[in-house]
C-alpha cells in the first residue's frame, strides 16, 4: 500500500489562459448600458428594502444580525454602482444625469457625491521622486 505525500498531493491550480479581445469587442463592451445600470440599481434597493422589512417583521436577533450582513453587501454594491456612474455609464450626452441619479441613489446614502469621488480618484499622485505629475484635464467626449 502506498501512502501519498501531502506536499505532492496538493498541486497549484493551473494558470488561466489570457483573454485577448479584438478592438471591436472591447469597444462594444465599453459602451454605456444604461438599462442594465438602472436595473441593477433598482435590484440593489429592492434587496435592501426587502431585507429590512424581513428583519423588522421577524424581530429575531440572529436573523437581524444576518440581515445586517446582507444589507452591508448591498451597500457595497451601491458604491460599486456609484463608480459606474462616475464613468458616465448612464449617459455620455447628458453628463449631469450621471451625477444627479448617481448622487441620489448611490452616493448620498453614504454622505459622498459622485463628483467628489471622481475628483478624488482622478487627482495626480506623487511619483517615486516625490513630485506630483502635472495635473491633467478630465473632459467628457461627445
In a domain, 130, yes or no: no
Over residues 52-68, the mean pLDDT reads: 96
Residue 113 has pLDDT above 80, yes or no: yes
Q: What's the chain's length in residues?
A: 142
In a domain, 47, yes or no: yes
The confidence band for 66, taking pLDDT boundaries of 50, 70 and 90, is very high
**Rounded Cα distance, 69 and 128, in Å:** 40
Over residues 12-33, the mean pLDDT reads: 82
Please report how many Cα atoms fall inside a 13 Å half-sphere around the Cα of residue 26, on the Cβ side. Answer: 5
In a domain, 54, yes or no: yes
Residue 9 has pLDDT above 90, yes or no: no
At residue 142, the pLDDT reads 45
Those residues with Cβ within 8 angstroms of residue 134's Cβ, 6 or more apart along the chain or in another chain: 124
Residue that wins the pLDDT comparison between 132 and 30: 30
In a domain, 83, yes or no: yes
Using only the alpha carbons of the chain, give its radius of gyration: 22
In a domain, 2, yes or no: no
How big is the CA angle at 88 (ends 83 and 91), to the nearest 5 degrees?
140
Number of neighbours of residue 31 by Cβ within 10 angstroms: 9
Arithmetic mean of pLDDT over the chain: 83
In a domain, 52, yes or no: yes
Q: What is the pTM of this model?
A: 0.69
Show the domain range for 91.
Answer: 33-121
Over residues 79-93, the mean pLDDT reads: 90
Total structural domains in the chain? 1
In a domain, 6, yes or no: no
Amino acid at each position: 500500500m502506498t501512502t501519498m505525500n501531502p506536499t505532492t498531493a496538493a498541486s497549484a491550480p493551473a494558470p488561466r489562459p489570457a483573454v485577448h479581445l479584438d478592438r471591436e469587442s472591447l469597444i462594444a463592451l465599453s459602451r454605456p448600458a444604461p438599462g442594465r445600470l438602472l436595473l441593477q440599481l433598482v435590484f440593489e434597493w429592492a434587496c435592501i428594502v426587502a431585507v429590512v422589512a424581513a428583519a423588522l417583521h421577524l424581530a429575531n436577533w440572529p436573523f437581524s444580525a444576518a440581515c445586517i450582513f446582507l444589507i452591508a453587501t448591498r451597500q457595497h454594491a451601491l458604491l460599486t454602482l456609484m463608480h459606474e456612474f462616475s464613468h458616465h455609464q448612464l449617459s455620455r450626452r447628458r453628463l449631469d444625469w450621471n451625477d444627479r441619479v448617481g448622487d441620489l441613489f448611490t452616493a448620498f446614502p453614504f454622505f459622498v457625491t459622485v463628483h467628489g469621488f471622481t475628483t478624488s480618484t482622478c487627482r495626480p499622485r506623487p511619483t517615486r521622486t516625490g513630485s506630483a505629475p502635472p495635473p491633467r484635464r478630465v473632459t467628457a467626449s461627445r
